[in-house]
């Protein structure tokens, strides 16, 4: 009689043990709004525009949810045909002392080049 139930019990126990070892895969955290990052960790051109961007839009910064996040301000993005505002948002600091250096448009020849922001 003992052998009749030992296989199902053993399989159930084994399944429960394996289930405890499972770690669901989560997606990487979303990048800050309008941030494309750079492979080198420094400034890297990502977009060119034929004219200077408009003046920045004044954004209302909501209260910080905690001390490990920083408000990354919005900026203008060039769509290839017109300027489009990319709203700012909170991003998690990679370390407590990290400071966000915002991206900016830099004049380059006859146009402007977007320089990505970075953590320092």
108 is a domain residue? yes
H or E element that contains 80: none
Sign of the C-alpha dihedral computed for residues 8, 12, 18 and 23 taken in this order: positive
118: containing domain: 44-120
5 is a domain residue? no
**How high is the pLDDT of residue 7?**
55
Q: What averages of pLDDT result for each successive group of 10 residues across the chain (120 residues)?
A: 55 47 38 39 60 96 93 93 93 92 92 93
53 is a domain residue? yes
114 is a domain residue? yes
d(CA 59, CA 68): 21
**How high is the pLDDT of residue 24?**
39
16 is a domain residue? no
Domain tally, the chain: 1
d(CA 67, CA 40): 27
- Predicted model pTM: 0.59
**How high is the pLDDT of residue 9?**
54
1 is a domain residue? no
């Amino acid at each position: 009689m003992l052998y009749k139930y030992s296989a199902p019990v053993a399989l159930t126990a084994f399944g429960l043990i394996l289930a405890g070892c499972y770690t669901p895969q989560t997606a990487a955290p979303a990048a800050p709004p309008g941030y494309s990052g750079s492979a080198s960790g420094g400034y890297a051109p990502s977009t060119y525009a034929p004219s200077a961007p408009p003046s920045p839009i004044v954004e209302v910064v909501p209260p910080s949810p905690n001390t490990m996040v920083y408000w990354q301000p919005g900026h203008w993005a060039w769509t290839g045909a017109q300027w489009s505002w990319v709203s700012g948002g909170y991003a998690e600091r990679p370390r407590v002392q990290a400071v966000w250096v915002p991206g900016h448009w830099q004049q380059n020849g006859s146009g402007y080049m977007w320089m990505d922001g970075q953590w320092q």
